[in-house]
Amino acid sequence: EGESANQPEIDQHLAMMVALQEDIQCRYNLACHRLETLLQSIDLPPLNSANNAQYFLRKPDKAVEEDSRVFSAYQDCIQLQLQLNLAHNAVQRLRVALGASRKMLNETSDPKDLIQTSSTEQLRTIIRYLLDTLLSLLHSSNVLQSTFHAQACEELFKHLCISGTPKIRLHTGLLLVQLCGGERWWGQFLSNVLQELYNSEQLLIFPQDRVFMLLSCIGQRSLSNSGVLESLLNLLDNLLSPLQPQLPVHRRTEGVLDIPMISWVVMLVSRLLDYVATVEDEAAAAKKPLNGKDRERFLTGNQWSLINNNLHTQNINRSS
């Protein structure tokens, strides 16, 4: 009797919460549209060039004004998303109170279906925990090394290092280099990834500079593997092959130079060689081998110097 007496009140609350949920949903959609409009109006650099770091060299006043508007719109979206989640949960509880069945997770559910119904943030959280778990098992188990082969590394890099958050990107790169940095195929793996992502024909949109810096750090951490520089130099030789003289005995089809691709490879090789020279100079000056902290300092130091120097050179050439 008590439940039947409370049912009209619950119905009234449910109607109010549904109306509130619809109102919040409408305001959330408007806030998201405003944020997208602000992001589209920002003068972003071309994604297919090596100088898109120049975007971060904007005038301070313009940068502060644009960033403040974007941050404000983003905060509005976050607050409305939180309110929308609370309203949705309240509606679900009221419907359960009226006798509706609560959705329960079926133990026999297909993992693919669970992934399709999961939110992006849920999947990112799972990935972060999995990466942290794998990193903690590196020194206690050898099973992982037999599991991570070249194809698995390429798939992980494509899905996590390209589309993942900065933290996921960093942890994935650290996991790959610690597990597979000494393998014979490691150098060819880096060469394949660089060629696939940075050739001028690919249309994939991703943060080129950040992924390049990750490849640079991965290469520096695995320079003890002679295959790293060897594979990159072989790639550079193949890219420059159209410049080689054509011998009558070995005729081949003339190719076209992929200048952007060559630029990325040269920058990576130069950065790796510069790292080797710096480590050797510091070790000779100190007359003692570098420990792990010193090597880490070189890995994280002045990562944008190459690209900034390239930008400076291009600006000088344009002005002249």
Q: Are residues 94 and 119 in the same domain?
A: no
On whether residue 297 sits in a domain, the answer given is no
Residue 126 lies in a domain: yes
**58 — alpha (psi -120 to 50), left (phi > 0) or beta?**
beta
Number of folded domains in the chain? 2
Residue 292 lies in a domain: no
Asked if residue 180 and residue 51 are part of one domain, the reply reads: no
* Residue 4 φ then ψ, to 5°: -70, -30
Residue 44 lies in a domain: yes
Neighbours of 158 (CB within 10 A): 15
| Same structural domain, 49 and 163 | no
Q: How far apart are CA 230 and CA 131, in angstroms?
A: 30
Regarding whether 118 and 43 lie in a shared domain, the answer is no
C-alpha–C-alpha distance, residues 119 and 111, integer Å: 14
Same domain, 145 and 282: yes
Which of 130, 125, 219, 134 has its CA nearest to residue 175?
A: 134
274 and 144 inside one domain: yes
Same-domain pairing of 174 and 136: yes
Six-digit token pair at 311? 């930008």
Q: Containing domain of residue 154, as a range? A: 111-243+258-286
Q: Are residues 56 and 191 in the same domain?
A: no
Domain co-membership, 61 together with 132: no
Predicted local confidence at residue 171, as pLDDT? 93
pLDDT of 125: 86
Regions of the chain where pLDDT drops below 70? 1-5, 42-63, 100-109, 141, 246-255, 287-320
Is residue 84 located within the same domain as residue 34?
Answer: yes
Neighbours of 177 (CB within 10 A): 21
Residue 213 domain flag: yes
In whole angstroms, give the CA distance from residue 184 to residue 182: 7
Residues 89, 27 share a domain: yes
pLDDT of amino acid 311: 43
Cα–Cα distance measured from residue 119 to residue 84, given in angstroms and rounded to the nearest whole number: 15
pLDDT tens track for 216-229: 999 999 988 888 99
> Is residue 140 domain-resident?
yes
Q: Does any domain span residue 106?
A: no
State pLDDT tens for residues 262-284: 999 999 999 999 888 887 777 77
Q: pTM score, two decimals? A: 0.58
Residue 93 lies in a domain: yes
